[in-house]
Each structure stands twice: as structure tokens, then as C-alpha cells.
Amino acid sequence: MEMESQLVQLCIDSACSSRESIKRWRMQRRSLERLPPQLAGALVRRLIQRHLLSPSLLEVFKYCVEEMDLRDETYVDAEWMAYLGGFRYLRCLNIAGCQRITSSAIWPLSGMSHLKELDLSRCVKFNDSGIRHLLSISTLEKLYLSETRLTAAGVSLLASLSNLSFLDLGGLPVTDQALGSLQVLSKLQYLDLWGSKVSDNGVAVLEKFPQLCHLNLAWTSVSLLPNFTSLEYLNMSNCNINSVFQYHGDKPCLVELRIAGITFANEAVIFENIEKHFLSLLDASKSPFSRFGFLSFMVGLEYLDLSSTGLGDESMEQIAIIGTNLRDLNLSNTRVSSAGVRILAGCVPNLKNLSLSHTAIDDFAICFLSMMPALKAIDLSHTSIKGFIQKEGDGSDQIFSLTTLQVQPLEKLNLESTLIEDDSLVPLAKLHGLSQLSLRNGSLTDISLHLLSSLPDLKTLSFRDIVLTNAGLNSFKPPETLEVLDIRGCWLLTVEAILSFHKRHPRVEVRHELIPALPSENDSSMHASPSRVTLKSKQVIGQTPENLHLSPAFIDQRLKYDREKLLALRYSSLSLILKDGGNISEMLLQ
């Protein structure tokens, strides 16, 4: 999506500022017809965001809109479809998660002449009878039907949509037989069958799709690893892999292989039938691997997830050998210790993200991390890191281990649930570029928060379950850049202290159990986020001052009393009502 110019943005702002302003342009039919699709698209997106689009307004965009994204807008119903069916040049329609869309609501779409992409995922009222309406849209190339109420019979009907290249049938009860009837779809490149009833017999059918390169068979009973030449992306997570499909052709040049949570009899079977050096992504997490010899020759790997496997220091050499191109490496929840990290150091020049959470590492590991020059995000949570290393000899001399991180272009650091104490955080204060920091540790106090105020680029600070006092929060001067302060679980704080902090620093979004979400000032000027506003809450906003934050103790008076009682209250003195709502007036003041 290219950025609109500034004046275009200003125009859209003005056009969508209120219902009144819409009235002043909606009749300009000739201009609307000439509106270039990307401008019309941007205008419609803003109207949707601001909940200003209604079916009747939709009609004015009939000739200019090519893409319409109404995903998860739950109010979208058959009336909307009636207007959308008349959109002459609509190329792409997304109504995923629109729960009011039934099979018959789709009827106006039948016969559309330009529609290439349709997303009906999670439309839980869409079933086999709706498929008939789709069959007349012969231009369809991409169709998303996952988690609808389609059955195998309905899926078989899709065979007549001969231009399909992308088909998402995730979570549908697709059988081998239904898959067989789809064989005529010779242009199919992407097929998602997660959670379907496809079995090993179905794999033989899959071989007949000449262009199939992206295949998802996660959560199925398939036990044969497909290995057709055209395959590039394969997901078999949570399957039980027994052997490899007997295929007499070249080995596939897989680029991505996801086999998280699989079970297998023999790991050699999985890897000996693919061209290893093409692989760029391998997710083998949560699988019972204990030997990692299969990693050899995977020199192209950029993303490797071995979390929750039997990985230990003895296998680290195998990762180090293929480490040159690695960018993401997840080793969390394994037996890896600092000795293992030492083997890796110096062998992963391009590594950007590294997770070592829930491992047996200690502070020596941090020293080795400084030999990974490209590291941007490090997760060291749930480890026994203390933040200092005791020098040998006399017990008084300490080295702060976090000091070594200062040489890196670090952006994100997670130190939740470690053994770090206030003193050892001192070196963090000098980390230029750090934008996200997470700490969650009962032994930290006000001193740490004070230290962190000098971090120049910090945007998100998670400072949870910490012995933070009101005075500590009060004296905290957040860095200019701070956007979010998460202090959940800081149980010593009082509502007053948090509200007064928010008042002094309105641009910081504060999160704490005692208060509902306190948005930063920037957010409230944009109006509440569209996904959270329901029609009901909008009415409430209309009646109360915009920045009113309701405390959890506040009960809507309309709920508390029935109609008669409310009428009676109307003439009673105002002070009586205020006794109940004492904290409301207090909040109104700020």
C-alpha cells in the first residue's frame, strides 16, 4: 500500500470528519465515478474505521472501489451484500468473521464479473447451500473458506471454479474423496487443509496438482510426508509422520518446513527426501527430536525454531556450522546452557532475534551474546541470570554482566522472571536504541524505575510484579519516547498515584489492574479504536464527556435502577446521587 500524499490525507480527514461533512460530497456522482481506485479505497477504509459507512452510503462507491476489506465488522449483513453485488469493478472482497453473513446473503455476489479474491473465513453461518452462488463467479482465483460450515459435499462443488489458484479449506471436514473431485483445479498453487479428514490416500491425489507449491496438512491424520517436486512450503505440524510418500521424481526444493508438535518413528525419514540446502525456515518446535544431525547442509536457514525439543549443548556445534545466514533462532525451553551459547558465539554473524528463555543459562551467556554483532532482540526470561558475575578469589569483586550488551544495536530485551536486582540493572541505562524492555521480578524496586528514565529511545516498558511504591512512580520521569508503561502486578500502587501519573504524562499509555485502560492522548483524539466500539458503547460516548474514565466500581445508573425508581430520583436532590458517584465527579475533574 503506497502512502497517500499529505493533501490527500487532509482531504480524507475532512471528508470523514462527521456525518454532516459526508452529506456535502456524497451527491457528487460524477466525481465519485472518476475517483481513482486507490483514493476511493483509502476513503472507504477511513469511513469503515470511523463507523460512518452504511449500506446506502456504500452505493456511491459502486464504480470506483476495487478492494473492500470488511473483515470482522460484525454488523455487515445481507443488506451490505446487496449493495456490494452491484460494485462493477470489485476485485477483492474480505468479509472474514462477519457473523451475520449467511449462505443466502451471498446470493447478490453471484455473477460478479471482476471478483478475483473472496475471503469468507469464519463466516459461521455460511454452508453448502451458499456454494451455488459462488460457482457463477468464474473469475475467482483466491478463495478462503476456512472455519465455515461447509461439508465435504460442498467442497466437491468447488471443482467448477477452474481459475482457482489459492484455496483455504482449513478446519473443514474435507475427505479424500472430496479432495479427489478437486483434481481438475490444475492451476492450484496454494492449498490449506489443516484439521481436515484427509488421510494418506489423499496425499496421492495431491501429487496430481501440477503447480501445488504451498500445502498445509497440520492437525490431520496424514502420516506420509508429501515430497512432490513443486512443493516449496509444507506445514505438517501436529501430525504423526511415519514415512515418506513414494514419489518417483526429483526431490522437492522446500523453502519452508513446519513440523511443530509432530511425532515420528525415525527422524531420518523426514529429512532424507528433501533438498536441504534450499530450506530457509524450519520450525521443529515441541517435537521429540533429540539428535540434530539433520541440520547439516541446511546452509540457507534463516529461521530456526527448536524450542521445547531435546536440544542440549552437545548439539550446538551443528547449529553453529550452519549459522551464517540465521536471523531468527528460538532455543527456549531446552537444555542449552551458557556452554552451548559459547559454541554459537562468533558463528552467527546475522542473527537478529534470539530466544533463550526457560533454559539453564547464567550470566556467562550474556558475555557470549556480545559476540553476535547483529542481535536486535534477546529473550532471557525465566533463567537464572543475576546481572553480575562474581570474580574468582575474594567475594567482593563483581562484574556487571549486562555491561557487555552495550556494544550491540539492541532494540528489545526481555529479562522477566530472572534473578536480577536493582544494582545490576545500572548498565542498561546506557543502552541507546533500546525500544522495548520487559522486567518482572519481585526483587526490583523504585530504584530500577528511576534508572530506566535515562534510556533515550525506550517506547514500551513492561515493569510488572515489582515492589514499586507511589513515591517511586511519582518521581519517575519517563523518557520522551515512552508510549506504553505496563505496571500490572505492582500491588503497592494506589489508583490516585496512577491517575496522577497519567495526568502528568498523558502521552503514555498506562496499564494496571486497578484502572481500566488509560489510553495515551494521541489515541483518544482518534476516537476509540474501531474494533472495540460497539453500537451500544457509542451511544454512551455520545452522552458522557469524551475523556471520562470509568472506574471498575462505577455502575451505570441505568442498570442499577429500574424506570420507576429513576423517574422518582429525578426530583431528589443532586447530592444524593453524587454520594454514590463520588469518584465519578473526581474523574470528571481530571
List contacts with other proteins (CB under 8 A): 4-8, 10-15, 17, 20-22, 24-25, 28, 31-32, 34-36, 39, 43
What amino acid occupies position 344?
A: L
DSSP annotation of 383 reads S
**DSSP secondary structure of 419-435:** ---GGGGGGGGG-TT--
DSSP 3-state assignment of 511?
A: strand
State how far the Cα of 292 lies from the Cα of 68, in Å rounded to an integer: 47
Instruction: Give the residue among 453, 488, 443 at the shortest CA–CA distance from 474.
Output: 453
- Residue 460: CA count within 13 A, CB half-sphere: 8
- Is the Cβ of residue 5 or residue 396 nearer to other proteins in the bound state? 5
| Cell, residue 408 | 550491540
Nearer to other proteins (CB atom), residue 64 or residue 231: 64
Q: Of 459 and 527, which has the nearer Cβ to other proteins?
A: 527
Residue 533 CB burial class (10 angstroms; 0-12, 13-18, ≥19): middle
d(CA 85, CA 115): 10
Complex with other proteins: residue 30 or 570, whichever CB lies closer = 30
Are β-strands 398-400 and 353-355 bridged in parallel, bridged antiparallel, or unpaired? unpaired
Closest separation between CB of residue 28 and other proteins, Å? 6
Closest distance to other proteins from the beta carbon of 46 (Å) = 11
Of 10 and 399, CB closest to other proteins:
10
3-state SS of 218-266?
CCCCCCEECCCCCCCEEECCCCEECEECCCCCCCCCCCEEECCCCEECC
Q: Give 42 or 437: the residue with its C-beta nearer to other proteins.
A: 42
**Complex with other proteins: residue 34 or 391, whichever CB lies closer:** 34
Cell match 465527579: residue?
A: 585
Pick from 577, 389, 590: nearest CA to 496: 590
CA atoms within 13 Å, Cβ hemisphere of 484: 14
In the bound complex, what is the minimum distance in angstroms from residue 82's beta carbon to other proteins?
Answer: 25
Cell numbers describing residue 345: 558465539
Q: How many C-beta neighbours within 10 Å does residue 452 have? A: 22
- CA dist., res. 524 & res. 527, Å (int): 5
Q: Which is nearer to other proteins, 43 or 109 (CB)?
A: 43
Contact assessment for residue 224 and residue 205, using Cβ atoms and an 8 Å cutoff: no
Q: Closer to other proteins at the Cβ: 28 or 163?
A: 28
- Tell me the three cell numbers of residue 332: 527456549
Q: Rg of the chain over CA atoms, in angstroms?
A: 29
Write down the least CB distance from residue 36 to other proteins, Å.
Answer: 6
Shorter beta-carbon distance to other proteins: residue 48 or 260: 48
Provide, rounded to whole angstroms, the least separation between the CB of residue 468 and other proteins.
37
193/235 Cα distance (integer angstroms): 10
Contacts of 568 (CB under 8 A, 6+ apart): none
> Could you tell me the smallest distance in angstroms from the CB atom of residue 23 to other proteins?
8
Q: How far is the CB of 307 from other proteins (least distance, A)?
A: 47
Residue closest to 342 by CA, chosen among 313, 322, 318: 313
CB of 501 to other proteins, least distance (A): 28
CB of 9 to other proteins, least distance (A): 9
CB of 41 to other proteins, least distance (A): 12
- Please identify, using beta-carbon distances, which residue of 14 and 390 lies nearer to other proteins: 14
Q: What is the DSSP string of 336-360?
A: --HHHHHHHTTS-TT--EEE-TTS-
- Residue closer to other proteins by CB (options 12, 380) is 12
Nearest to 105 by CA among 77, 146, 147: 77
Distance from first CA to last CA of the chain, Å, rounded? 40
Give the nearer residue to other proteins in terms of CB position, either 24 or 114: 24
Q: How far is the CB of 378 from other proteins (least distance, A)?
A: 39
Least distance (Å) between residue 64 CB and other proteins: 10
- Nearest distance from C-beta of residue 58 to other proteins, angstroms: 16
